Amino acid sequence: MKAKLLVVIVADDMEEAAREIARQEGARGMTLLSARGMNFPEYVTFFGLTYLGAETMLLALLDEAAAVRIAERLNVELQLLEPFKGLAFCLPVDGTGGIDIEALQRHIEAHPPADRLDSTPG
Residue-by-residue pLDDT tens, the chain, 122 positions: 688 999 999 999 999 999 999 999 988 889 999 988 776 666 666 676 666 678 999 999 988 889 999 999 999 999 998 887 899 999 998 877 777 777 777 877 777 665 544 444 44
Please say whether the beta carbons of 59 and 33 come within 8 A. yes
Which among 11, 12, 109, 118 has a CA at the least distance from the CA of 66?
Answer: 109
Question: Which parts of the chain fold into alpha helices (H)?
Answer: 15-24, 64-77, 101-110, 114-118
> What pLDDT sits at residue 51?
64
Cβ burial of 50 (10 Å; 0-12, 13-18, 19+) is: exposed
Does CATH number 3.30.450.40 belong to domain 3-39+53-113? no
Instruction: Report residue 44 CA to chain centroid gap.
Output: 28
> What pLDDT sits at residue 121?
44
Q: What are the boundaries of each domain within the chain?
A: 3-39+53-113
